[in-house]
């Protein structure tokens, strides 16, 4: 009887070991030749969870690299110290998606000057002290969104702009691009606010806008969580049918699904670049040079083209 109990305990132990150890290739992999530090500014939005998954999936194809992930939880100071930890640990390469441009610039430069290659992903830092930047062209996306909106509204109407964090470069570029795209049209921007990329902020800002304005034709939000937050506020006020909502990101499980459901009129794709970052990392680690600037393509998804895979943005 006691033997049986012992055997059972062993069996449970082996099963537990297997469950914890037989999962995905873990950071403890001993065959890896290089360690990559991945500094993610936050994992609050589905888009960033997707970025990490894209990095992980690409890295899992290569036994010679292992990736250590750090999540700064939307805290710039935390991201700075996590970057410093990567530097002092002597990782072989850093991929960083910085929360804000100015405060993260010095630590990126510090790593780069110490000889650690740095791939800056999606949001930029200032200056040139990094190895390579990977991301889609946010100005182009903003401009295309502006032009699409002008056409959709027949050249006139009242519009709300819900901006992404304006200390981050995608927020700045999606704003200037948009203003360029609507230039000359008879659109009135009746309300604008920095919702800092966050759905609850967008919802709150939209509540104020709804209270102030009787006619709102369209909301342009710098990301899909923002557009969705605005939609929820309008829905709660019973006004969602009279307003169009446009966002950016177009994840299949988020923006594209909203377009398919008729919640968003359009979503512009912002690819995470996770896979590309691992490809570039491998080239750098193998001694090859990569372009300083790798620009990713973007597509627009609307009710008309969603079932055909969207449409590529032109040059």
How near is the Cβ of 111 to ligand FRU at its closest, in Å? 20
42 or 131: CB nearest ligand FRU = 42
> Which candidate, 89, 108, 88, 90, places its Cα nearest to that of 98?
108
Cβ partners under 8 Å of residue 177, min gap 6: 138, 139, 140, 141, 142, 143, 144, 145, 146
The span from the CA of 12 to the CA of 136, in Å, is 49
Helices within 46-100 (DSSP H only):
46-59, 76-89
How near is the Cβ of 264 to ligand FRU at its closest, in Å? 13
How near is the Cβ of 88 to ligand FRU at its closest, in Å? 27
How near is the Cβ of 315 to ligand FRU at its closest, in Å? 21
Cβ partners under 8 Å of residue 148, min gap 6: 181, 246, 266, 300, 302
18 or 166: CB nearest ligand FRU = 166
How near is the Cβ of 248 to ligand FRU at its closest, in Å? 6
119 or 185: CB nearest ligand FRU = 119
178 or 197: CB nearest ligand FRU = 197
The span from the CA of 196 to the CA of 193, in Å, is 9
131 or 168: CB nearest ligand FRU = 168
Q: 115's torsion region: left (phi>0), alpha (psi -120 to 50) or beta? A: left
> Which candidate, 37, 83, 82, places its Cα nearest to that of 277?
37
Q: Which residues bind ligand FRU (CB under 6 A)?
A: 45, 47-48, 122-123, 164, 168, 170, 197, 223, 248-249, 270
């Amino acid at each position: 009887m006691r033997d049986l109990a012992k055997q059972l305990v062993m069996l449970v132990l082996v099963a537990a070991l297997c469950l914890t150890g037989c999962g995905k290739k873990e950071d403890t992999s001993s065959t890896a030749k290089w360690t990559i530090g991945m500094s993610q500014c936050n994992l609050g939005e589905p888009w960033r969870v997707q970025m990490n998954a894209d990095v992980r999936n690409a890295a899992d194809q290569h036994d010679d690299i292992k990736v250590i992930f750090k999540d700064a939880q939307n805290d710039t100071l935390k991201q700075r110290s996590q970057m410093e930890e990567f530097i002092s640990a002597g990782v072989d390469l850093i991929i960083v998606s910085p929360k804000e441009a100015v405060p993260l610039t010095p630590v990126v430069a510090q790593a780069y000057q110490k000889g650690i290659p740095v791939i800056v992903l999606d949001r930029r830092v200032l200056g040139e002290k990094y190895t390579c930047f990977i991301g889609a062209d946010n100005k182009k996306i903003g401009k295309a969104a502006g032009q699409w909106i002008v056409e959709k509204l027949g050249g006139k109407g009242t519009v709300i702009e819900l901006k992404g964090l304006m200390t981050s470069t995608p927020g700045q570029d999606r704003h200037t691009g948009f203003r360029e795209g609507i230039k000359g049209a008879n659109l009135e921007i009746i309300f604008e606010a920095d919702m800092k990329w966050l759905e609850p902020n967008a919802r709150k800002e939209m509540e104020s806008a709804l209270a102030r304005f009787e006619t709102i034709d369209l909301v342009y939000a710098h990301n899909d969580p923002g557009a969705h937050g605005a939609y929820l506020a309008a829905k709660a006020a019973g006004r969602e049918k009279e307003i169009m909502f446009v966002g950016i990101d177009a994840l299949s499980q988020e923006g594209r699904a909203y377009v398919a459901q008729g919640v968003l009129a359009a979503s512009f794709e912002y690819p995470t670049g996770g896979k590309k970052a691992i490809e570039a990392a491998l080239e750098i680690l193998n001694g090859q040079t990569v372009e300083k600037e790798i620009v990713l393509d973007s597509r627009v998804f609307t009710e008309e083209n969603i079932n055909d895979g969207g449409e590529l943005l032109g040059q």
